[in-house]
Structure 1
Amino acid sequence: MNLPADRITGLVLAGGRGARMGGADKGLQMLQGEALALHVMRRLARQVGPLLVSANRHQDAYAALGAPWHAAVVADALPDYAGPLAGLLAGMRAARTEWLLAAPCDSPWLPSDLALRLAEAVEPDGADIATAKTVNATGETSLHPVFVLLRTSLADDLAAFLAAGERKVRAWYARHKAVEVAFADERAFYNINSLQELAEFGRA
């Protein structure tokens, strides 16, 4: 699919509780001298037009990180950290493009061709959503549902889904025409989930 970058808004998902990091704001934790979210912003910004950050706290700090790309910071409309779908909805509402490309703030090695590969996958069947998966040497598949390209026109349907108390990402995707795209590099989708992991990768 020939989808120019300026037709895609990028979204860094940084609105979680950081429960596995002891409540720390994950995107602001440092990896090799830079905030995790900054690593993600830099990689994502090369693939999209406008850039957004979904954050429910420390919004000034995220705005400062996103300043080189004039990235706006958006917060969930729902209270109590309602999960990644709430972050996606905030991004979809704020975007002024047909497509939104999202990635979590704890994935500093996300693929440089994420937008390209997902965009190519939505075209053949007119899909509305494309997500990433990896397949290892033994054929085992791992799904990465919040690495996603989706149509912003789905915002009203997502809002209704959340209003009904639903929170499961893949359950909402199943309501629409969605495709999964296989990537070979598992490390590209690695999520840093603990302060110990952060320290280990920082020494690498």
Structure 2
Amino acid sequence: MQRSALILAGGKGTRLREQEKALLVCKDKTLLENAIYVLDQVVDEVIVSVRDHKQQEAFSEFVQGIKLLCDQYQSKGPLAGMLEGMRAAAGNYVFVVACDMPFLQPDVIDLLFKEAAGHDAAIPLWKDGRKEPLHAVYNREQLIPIIERSILKDDHRVMNVVSQLYDARFTSVDRIQLIDRELVSFVNINTPADLVQITKKGVYDHG
């Protein structure tokens, strides 16, 4: 099974004072570079989604040799990037991840690909019912038409798209914790304070 990965980097970072999340530096690497480094260990291709040509130009020096796609639909949130990435992916199964998750774990991503095989998706599920749709593997053939319909209906909610998948598998976070003991896979950056705290973490070390 050919594997693809899509990094969603088109967010505006409003809670980070309009800084580009993907280009924030932590331990001498941008978050984007770190994500690509980890994903290269478990997938056959990495795709990066950005919102417009200005952002595409800003990111180009960090993603050489990687597909860097602009959203066709503007102001549609992550779904716009997911649609372009799914359309461009060579693999039928695509790991989708937000660019602000600095502690991605190759073994967790590998598990999700294995869980998704033969199904519409593999999505981490917390005990309280919360899901992690932006750290999940999707069957692109099943997902593309659902996203297209949702965008045409002006419904930009990722979870509404996920709810329409007929055969999605939900992988318990308890199971993921056997691989990622501290569940650092799901740590993300939303504010400047988050970045300061994450910078101090010793677990950010992928070589």
TM-score normalised over the length of structure 1: 0.85
2:197 to 178, 185, 200: 200
Partner of 1:181: 171
Q: 1:28-74, CA deviations, whole angstroms, 9 ceiling, x for partnerless residues?
A: 1111222111111111121111111011242133232122xx21111
**Unmatched segments (≥5 aa) in structure 2:** 202-207
Q: Rate the CA distance shift 1:41–1:134 in 2: closer, same or farther, 3 A.
A: farther
Identity among equivalent pairs (%) = 25
Per the alignment, residue 98 of structure 1 pairs with: 92
1:155 aligns with one of 139, 144, 147: 144
After the TM superposition, list the runs of 4 or more consecutive aligned residues in structure 1 that deviate by more than 2 angstroms.
Answer: 60-63, 140-143
Secondary structure of the 1:145 match is coil
> How many residues get paired?
190
Render the CA deviation track for 1:79-102: whole Å, top value 9, x for unaligned. 12x111111111011112212111
Counterpart contact for 2:48–2:67, Cα < 8 Å: yes
> In structure 2, which of residues 61, 68, 85 is the aligned counterpart of residue 64 of structure 1?
61
Cα distance in 2 for residues equivalent to 1:142 and 1:166: 20
Structure 1 gap segments, 5+ residues each: none
Q: Distance in 1 between matches of 2:125 and 2:155?
A: 23
Q: Does 1:170 align with 2:164?
A: no
Q: Which residue of 2 aligns with 1:55?
A: 50
Whole-angstrom CA distance in 1 between matches of 2:78 and 2:108 = 19
Residue equivalent to 2:204: none
Alpha-carbon distance in 1 for matches of 2:110, 2:8 = 20
Counterpart residue number, 2:79: 85
Whole-Å separation in 2 of the counterparts to 1:28 and 1:116: 25
Given that residues 119 and 139 in structure 2 are in contact (C-alpha distance below 8 angstroms), is that contact kept between their aligned partners in structure 1?
no
Two-structure CA RMSD over aligned residues (Å): 1.7
CA offset digits 1:110-135 (Å, max 9, x no partner): 12123321122234xx3211112345
Residue in 2 aligned with 1:109? 103
Mapped contact 2:38–2:104 kept (Cα < 8 A): yes
- The alignment partner of 1:113 has SS state of helix
TM-score by length of 2: 0.84
Aligned 8 A contact 2:87 2:144 in 1: yes
Q: Which residue of 2 aligns with 1:22?
A: 17
Counterpart CA distance in 1 for 2:49 and 2:90 is 15
In 2, distance between residues paired with 1:106 and 1:31? 11
What displacement does 1:142 show?
4.4
The secondary structure found in structure 2 opposite 1:179 is: strand
